[in-house]
Structure 1
Amino acid sequence: MTGEQGAVAQGAAVLCAVAALWRVAEREQGLRRARLVLAGVGAVGTPGDHRDPGLTGPSWRAVGARWWAAVRGRRAWLCLPVAAVLAVLGESPLPLVAGALAVPLVGRRLRASALRREREARSDAVVGLCGAVAAELRAGRQPAPALLFGLRATGALGPQEEAEVLAAARFGGDVARALRSAARQDGADGLAGLAACWQVAVDGGAGLAAGLDRLEAALREHRDQRERLRAQLAGAWATVAVLAVLPAVGLVLGSALGARPLYVLLHTPVGLGCLAVGAALEAAGLWWAARIVRGGERV
């Protein structure tokens, strides 16, 4: 085995070790949440002790769980160890510079994905709120208690918005206005429809349950349409992902064949030029492909 192949093997071993530790910590975190849900927080350990028993005591599991909790919110920083491995393999500080520049870009992308998931979760909670309130109304509850029950059951609002709506419902305030104010949250547009149904029911005496049923059906259809469109675009996103990893696959294959691509790219003028042009073309291609797919999602 040549020196270049040995370095590639060492780098691959480091990456595998990082991935394995990540996976073990994630599995431990999932087991911890399952124990809390099934057994209850106070049912494990001594009475009144609300700490997770899996995190007490100096064990490697506790260390792994704490490591995962610390890294989970800073996943963008994992670019640095990957860049360090490439720097060792290529015997150049350029990968470290690229990794440091990639941290804010990856962090921005991760934050955007987290906001999108939060927006979709809130939208689904609003659909559940409409259904819960309509069900309580058909069961014989008055509108205000039904709304209070639906808010507590679904958690569709943030703490401040929920407090405002609850105060208006309990003390005879303007519930429709509070709901319209809460609809300004990202993903809570359906609350504007709930506010309109509430206003019509209060002013004109129309049936609130029937209006909420129609609103729930419309919101649910919109959500199902979004999911169908996302399923149809899954193949396009897979193509984008394949295009993103092709350069890395080429580097691995070149190293396996003994061509020393990292040395050529990082230590020769021609290689540095090819690296700069290739990185620019790769970034432009990924941006353009992602733009096309996101345009299809907005149709």
Structure 2
Amino acid sequence: MNAVVFGAVLCAGVAAWVLCARDEAVRRARTLLVGPWGPPGPGCGVPGLRRLDVRVQALLEPFRVRFGWRLGRELLCLPAGLVLSVAAHSAVPAVLAAGAVPLVGRWLRGRESRALAEERALAAGALCSAVAGDLRAGLAPQGALAGALLREGWPGRPALADAALPLLAAARFGGDVPAALRTAARLDGAQGLAGVAACWQVAVDGGAGLADGLDRIAAALRSERDQREDLRTQLAAPRSTVLMLALLPLFGLVLGAGLGADPVGTLLRTPFGLGCLAAGGLLEWAGLAWTARIVRTAEAS
């Protein structure tokens, strides 16, 4: 019983690490391109865990380069499964952990992509406001754009470096700024820059006020951000309920073990228990998938 509880606590710690930390490999790759001055990504704030994450990513880097793999913290499912297998005297947790690696990896990649897209959307709105303010102060459009990009720290932010470097080059050396803005708008979350490109084109060709157009775009982006925040607030309670219901089977196992039964041994070492485990796992997956689909539909609408 103590070994099983220890394994469960270890898995909970691993899950907390996965939820709090970010993928350091992306940050290091961006640093090679834009320099070491980029701010660190948000994380748990635990230096020891961050250093361990960097070492794990460094060990996996040769495999990524040679085979094109992109593996990260999802590999921690394997040692957690081995610990639970040893504690429960069954190979089932190890097999389930190996099968969970691609699923956890996909979830982590999706979470990372959503975070980058949200960061780009916020940065696009802030850039519009900054450029509009500089234009009203009397700066030329190209100089205002270059100065705003540097003040907002675009070259040093991993999510924005791909868009910042072409924009800086176009603004500083007389390039095609609208084309650079449209290219940057192809990044997920940066679609607002397409409106900036249209305003820039109209201002150059027709002499319309660029600052007013940028202010309207910034207001529209702020409105979209407020809608996302309101939706996230409304979905927080259903998500918490779903998480609590998904964890109830684990509490049932702990309660059964506390009452003197052997629920883990019954589930993992008997045919009837394995059948119950398979049926329960399928029902759990169906419930989570159904809830995730409802959430995605609400977010898309």
TM-score w.r.t. length of structure 2: 0.78
- The equivalences for 1:18-29 within 5 A come to none
Q: Bigger CA drift: 254-263 or 148-157?
A: 148-157
Q: Bigger CA drift: 141-150 or 152-161?
A: 152-161
- The equivalences for 1:87-98 within 5 A come to 87-98=85-96
- State how far apart, in whole Å, the 2-side matches of 1:62 and 1:162 are: 29
**Aligned residue pair count:** 259
| Selected match of 2:244 from 231, 242, 245 | 242
Deviation (angstroms), 1:287:
0.5
1:7 counterpart = 2:3? yes
Q: What corresponds to 1:196 in structure 2? A: 198
Letter in 1 for 2:292: A
Q: What corresponds to 1:172 in structure 2? A: 174
Residues 67 and 143 from structure 1, CA distance in 2 versus in 1: closer, same or farther, beyond 3 angstroms?
Answer: same
- The equivalences for 1:1-299 within 5 A come to 5-11=1-7, 66-71=51-56, 74-156=72-154, 158-299=160-301
- State how far apart, in whole Å, the 2-side matches of 1:257 and 1:183 are: 59
Letter in 2 for 1:141: L
Residues 13 and 282 from structure 1, CA distance in 2 versus in 1: closer, same or farther, beyond 3 angstroms?
Answer: closer
Q: Secondary structure at the match of 2:229?
A: helix
Query: 1:190-235 deviations in whole A, cap 9, x for unaligned?
Result: 1001001111111111111111111111111111111111111101
Are the aligned partners of 1:22 and 1:68 in contact in 2 as well (CA < 8 Å)? no
- State how far apart, in whole Å, the 2-side matches of 1:200 and 1:79 are: 53
- State how far apart, in whole Å, the 1-side matches of 2:289 and 2:56 are: 27
- State how far apart, in whole Å, the 2-side matches of 1:6 and 1:154 are: 52
Query: 1:232-285 deviations in whole A, cap 9, x for unaligned?
Result: 110111112112211111111111112101111111111111111111111111
Are the aligned partners of 1:129 and 1:156 in contact in 2 as well (CA < 8 Å)? no
Letter in 2 for 1:220: R
Letter in 2 for 1:89: A
Deviation (angstroms), 1:68:
3.8
Q: What corresponds to 2:43 in structure 1? A: none
Deviation (angstroms), 1:160:
4.6
Are the aligned partners of 2:74 and 2:102 in contact in 1 as well (CA < 8 Å)? yes
Residues 63 and 123 from structure 1, CA distance in 2 versus in 1: closer, same or farther, beyond 3 angstroms?
Answer: closer
- State how far apart, in whole Å, the 2-side matches of 1:6 and 1:76 are: 26
Deviation (angstroms), 1:110:
0.7
Identity %: 54
- State how far apart, in whole Å, the 2-side matches of 1:283 and 1:9 are: 23
Are the aligned partners of 1:169 and 1:175 in contact in 2 as well (CA < 8 Å)? yes
Q: Secondary structure at the match of 1:233?
A: helix
- State how far apart, in whole Å, the 2-side matches of 1:6 and 1:144 are: 66
- State how far apart, in whole Å, the 2-side matches of 1:232 and 1:143 are: 40
Q: Secondary structure at the match of 2:175?
A: coil
- State how far apart, in whole Å, the 2-side matches of 1:63 and 1:121 are: 26
Q: Bigger CA drift: 264-273 or 6-15?
A: 6-15
Superposed CA RMSD in Å reads 2.7
Letter in 1 for 2:112: A
Query: 1:112-166 deviations in whole A, cap 9, x for unaligned?
Result: 1011001100111101110110010111111110011112222457445433323
Residues 176 and 229 from structure 1, CA distance in 2 versus in 1: closer, same or farther, beyond 3 angstroms?
Answer: same
Residues 164 and 204 from structure 1, CA distance in 2 versus in 1: closer, same or farther, beyond 3 angstroms?
Answer: same
Unaligned runs of 5+ in 1: 27-40, 42-60
Residues 200 and 253 from structure 1, CA distance in 2 versus in 1: closer, same or farther, beyond 3 angstroms?
Answer: same
Deviation (angstroms), 1:71:
4.7
Unaligned runs of 5+ in 2: 22-35, 37-45, 58-70
- State how far apart, in whole Å, the 1-side matches of 2:47 and 2:120 are: 33
Q: Bigger CA drift: 77-86 or 145-154?
A: 77-86
Are the aligned partners of 1:137 and 1:209 in contact in 2 as well (CA < 8 Å)? yes
Residues 271 and 177 from structure 1, CA distance in 2 versus in 1: closer, same or farther, beyond 3 angstroms?
Answer: same
